[in-house]
């Protein structure tokens, strides 16, 4: 158990990649995980993995599509009924376009990136921030950004645009939150995930493994305070 005490952490896009390893790391430290994803089989797998290591856990995994306001509304309702207001929210759900020049990216693929990465984050903020405020939580919200939210890169313009949006959204919402709360944009660095492999191909394997990243990220997230509100951070 971390010295700071047990926290309840909501992680979107928990079924794979950074979301999954972060959930495992935080659970191993004694924190309670609320995870959501569209992939029910992967949620079941993660639940089983955590149950086998800690049968007395208090984790909750729910099928939800952050792109849909109605789905996140139902997610918030269920979370409140079963676990109450989270202490920390990690807006991790994300996707990337296939490498292509912007004029060659299909409209539906562009929409998918923006709907997941930007509107998905906004939907979570819409339904959970009022709950955190009402509960007078010293709540922390972490919006997963990217180095490509602070720079540009060819062939991934939709993804870059979405992460620049996350940076701006985070800084703006920081000015709207009450004293005591914090929202940050967190660049995880370059990590060997499926998303990176879609851009870099086999050379993605040259970069840091998610399992090596998770302990550093967990420590940083758990130690965020109101003093960090509005920050753009990098693990």
Contacts of 19 (CB under 8 A, 6+ apart): 11, 12, 13, 35, 37, 90, 92, 93
The pLDDT score that the predictor gives to residue 1 is 54
For residue 152, the model assigns a pLDDT of: 96
Q: What per-residue confidence (pLDDT) applies to 2? A: 61
Which segments in the chain show pLDDT lower than 50? none
Active-site positions? 159
Rounded to 5 degrees, what are φ and ψ at 13?
60, 45
What is the total residue count of the chain? 235
């Amino acid at each position: 158990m971390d010295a700071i005490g047990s926290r309840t952490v909501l992680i979107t896009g928990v079924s794979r990649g950074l979301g999954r390893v972060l959930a495992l790391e935080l659970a191993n430290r004694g924190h309670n995980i609320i995870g959501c994803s569209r992939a029910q089989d992967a949620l079941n797998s993660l639940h089983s993995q955590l149950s086998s290591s800690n049968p007395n856990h208090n984790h909750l995994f729910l099928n939800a599509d952050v792109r849909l306001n109605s789905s996140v509304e139902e997610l918030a309702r269920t979370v409140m009924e079963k676990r109450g207001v989270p202490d920390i929210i990690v807006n991790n759900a994300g996707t990337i376009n296939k490498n292509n020049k912007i004029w060659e990216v299909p409209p539906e693929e562009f929409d998918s990136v923006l709907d997941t990465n930007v509107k998905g984050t906004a939907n979570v903020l819409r339904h959970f921030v009022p709950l955190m405020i009402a509960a007078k939580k010293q709540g922390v919200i972490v919006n997963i950004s990217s180095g490509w939210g602070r720079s540009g890169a060819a062939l991934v313009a939709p993804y870059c645009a979405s992460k620049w949006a996350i940076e701006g959204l985070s800084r703006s919402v920081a000015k709207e939150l009450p004293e005591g709360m914090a929202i940050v944009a967190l660049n995880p660095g370059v990590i060997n995930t499926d998303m990176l492999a879609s851009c870099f191909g086999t050379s993605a394997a040259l970069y840091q493994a998610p399992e090596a990243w998770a302990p550093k990220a967990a420590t940083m997230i758990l130690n965020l305070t109101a003093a960090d509100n509005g920050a753009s951070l990098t693990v």
